[in-house]
Amino acid sequence: MSFTSTYAQKPPNYKGIGLTVGFHALVFAGIMAMPGIDLPDKLPTIMETYDVIVKPEPVEAIPEPKKVELETPTKAQDAVKVTPVVNPPVFNDAPVNRFADIDNGIDFSGLGDRIEAPIAPVEAIPDPVIAGAKLNTRFSKQFQPPYPSGLLRMGEEGMVTVRVLVGTDGRAKQIELIDSPHDGFWTATKRHALKKWRFEPATKDGAPFESWMTLKVRFQINS
């Protein structure tokens, strides 16, 4: 009994084969176009591992330190040798200079030969003789200044205190006011002193020199 396939006599379907091949090509192209997928060129090689035995290096032995033996000194070595000194030197102290008074000089004892240094006598310098300035009695009548007329009519009285610089010629070179109850008294005293006052100048060992002195002038109305 024979069996004959119903498909044997049919021609191949080229259209279906083309569609199948085209579908697979599209799928493969889509996979290739997807980003982030890198296909390795080669597969990794499988590495084989095995244990390595490391032999330790030999350790050198550290030599022990040598013992230092200390020599113990004997009694003979400990003894101090003292050499006696024959006729030791004698150290004399430095000579002390003693000054002794003599008639015509100074005696420097301890320095060898006697040295006489004559000393000239020192003369005492006397203090200078200073005499202060004072009024000249020969001109005492012209000492009082004239009474100011205005103050005289008013009955004013007072005392003027001044400071006067007396020159070497006995005249009043300068006058300064210390105190006055009225300007009129001071003006009259100043004008009169520069013209009329005469003094005996101050002296130093007889030589005149300028000096200041203080004077008082009284203005009083006699009844």
Q: What is the pLDDT of residue 208?
A: 95
pLDDT digits (tens, 9 = 90+) for 163-192: 999 999 999 999 999 999 999 999 999 999
pLDDT for residue 7 is more than 80: no
Residue 15's SS3 state is helix
pLDDT digits (tens, 9 = 90+) for 120-132: 777 888 889 999 9
Mean pLDDT of 20-42: 62
pTM: 0.45
Higher per-residue pLDDT: 158 or 71: 158
Mean pLDDT of 215-221: 95
CB burial of 57-86 (b: ≥16 within 10 Å; e: otherwise) equals eeeeeeeeeeeeeeeeeeeeeeeeeeeeee
- Give the dihedral of Cα atoms 167, 171, 174, 177; nearest 10 deg: 120
Q: How confident is the model at residue 212 (pLDDT cuts 50, 70, 90)?
A: very high
Residue 129 is classified by DSSP as: -
Q: Which among 1-15, 105-119, 185-199 has the top mean pLDDT?
A: 185-199
- Return the ∠ at Cα 139 (arms to 135 and 143), rounded to 5°: 75
